[in-house]
Amino acid sequence: MVSTSSTNANSTDAYAGASETTSGRVYTLTGQDWDTLVEGIGEHADERVVVNMGPQHPSTHGVLRLILELEGETVTEARCGIGYLHTGIEKNMEYRTWTQGVTFCTRMDYLSPFYNEMTYVLGVERLLDITDDVPEKAQVMRVLLMELNRISSHLVAIATGGMEIGALTVMTIGFRERELVLDLFELITGLRMNHAFFRPGGVAQDLPAGALDEIRGFITLMKKRLPEYAALCNANPIFKARLEGVGHLDLEGCLALGISGPVLRSTGYAWDLRKTQPYSGYETYDFDVQTWDTCDSYGRFRIRLNEMHESLRIVEQCVDRLAGLDGAPVMVADKKIAWPSQLAIGSDGMGNSLDHIRHIMGESMEALIHHFKLVTEGFRVPAGQAYVPVESPRGELGAHVVSDGGTRPYRVHFRDPSFTNLQATSVMSEGGMVADVIVAIASIDPVMGGVDR
């Protein structure tokens, strides 16, 4: 619903704003001084109250500012204030080599770092024309890590959403399971977050010994624990009362606003880039796109719960494939691109391959020069531009990568789903209660690192 203060008398489109009103006054909130905003309410001060929720509020799902105009407990107008977590990542990437750029973009949506890396790396590989040269094992490892990342991200979405409405048990068990996924990330990449593990041409290193056994153990455990969420929430009358009918947004609204991910699929539309525009071999995996038909927060919760089951199916298939790829390469054969091409982590968690170091430091001056130039200058990428989107836990995430033929990106701009999906805040919240605003925001599951970048 929308408030009468923002409805065009000549329009029936609930998602198209206008300045003409049938009644009341219009307030445009663009980050102006708070005192000025309050003074602008004027004679309506006794009827409506402007509440500044956030950006340091425990229920705003991150560093998000919500400007709410209230009439009693009813929200008559809702606007988002963003920019409190701006880090300049896109601009900084212009001053780093193509490989170093991964270290920056992985930090945007910090709950799904592998997806940030994936869309950027796929764009670079398309410009290099090496998409088909990436080894099979690297492709399978990418899918494995992304699906594990989808599980960890959805666990946080469900856990924090439960915490914000008082379901603390959901929060504690959600973070309990997420720790298991982060342990796997640490085992495989050396880090729990911000991995910079996907590189143009493949991945940084092979799976360590025993990794597949650890992943199999995780799959077995999660198959037992995921049903706990269903038993705890699916038919819980209190939980359903807080979520059903809240944050309503139909298919027409999603398409008008460019909404994707679970919010779009909660309308019954099975749009998932892994199926509609496959990448990294997703067309060869057996899984189903999860949808719901309620267009509300409850449907988005059920979708995320079901998607974790589907991700486990994909992870199982990845493990089976990797078991038959022992010793296979994980980086393209082209030594002009592959970096680090011979990486082996030692017992101290650091270091390059000792054989490689002996070779470049004591046997081959040419190899030393090549290694030095590859690390300090990087490789050149042919001039052009590319956009390769991926299906992140929050929707379509894409990187528009532009090269001028140099060793650094000319421009990289990310289409982050959290930024786009936040447009739905007003439509989902206006006409509802203040308490329902938190539920609506939680159902969008925005990550402010991705919004502000």
Question: So what's the pLDDT on residue 308?
Answer: 92
Question: So what's the pLDDT on residue 340?
Answer: 66
**AA letter at 421:** N
pTM of the model: 0.84
312 contacts: CB under 8 Å, gap ≥ 6: 147, 151, 219, 222, 223, 226
> What does DSSP assign to residue 22?
S
DSSP-assigned states of every residue in 76-139:
EEEEEE--TT---HHHHHTTS-TTTHHHHHTTSSTTSHHHHHHHHHHHHHHHHT-GGGS-HHHH
Q: What span, in angstroms and rounded, lies between the C-alpha atoms of 144 and 138?
A: 10
CA distances for 193 relative to 85, 114, 204, 286, 393, angstroms: 18, 9, 15, 28, 16
Question: So what's the pLDDT on residue 6?
Answer: 43
Give strand pairing partners of 402. Answer: 385, 411
Length of the chain: 453
Q: What span, in angstroms and rounded, lies between the C-alpha atoms of 59 and 442?
A: 9
Fold of 89-334+380-418: Cytochrome-c3 Hydrogenase; chain B (1.10.645)
Spans of all domains in the chain: 89-334+380-418
Per-residue pLDDT of the chain (453 residues; tens, 9 = 90+): 334 444 444 456 665 555 555 555 665 556 666 666 666 655 555 577 888 887 777 767 778 888 888 888 888 888 888 888 888 999 999 999 999 899 999 999 889 999 999 999 999 999 999 988 899 999 999 999 999 999 999 999 988 888 888 778 888 888 899 999 999 999 888 888 998 899 998 898 888 888 999 999 999 999 988 888 888 878 888 888 888 888 888 898 889 999 998 999 999 999 999 999 999 999 999 999 999 989 888 999 989 999 999 999 999 999 999 998 888 888 898 888 887 656 665 556 566 666 667 767 777 777 777 777 778 888 889 999 999 999 999 999 999 999 999 889 999 999 999 999 998 888 888 888 888 888 888 888 888 888 888
**AA letter at 311:** S
Are residues 266 and 292 in contact, defined by beta-carbon separation less than 8 angstroms?
A: yes
Question: So what's the pLDDT on residue 1?
Answer: 39
Question: So what's the pLDDT on residue 234?
Answer: 80
Question: So what's the pLDDT on residue 4?
Answer: 41
Question: So what's the pLDDT on residue 37?
Answer: 62
Question: So what's the pLDDT on residue 36?
Answer: 66
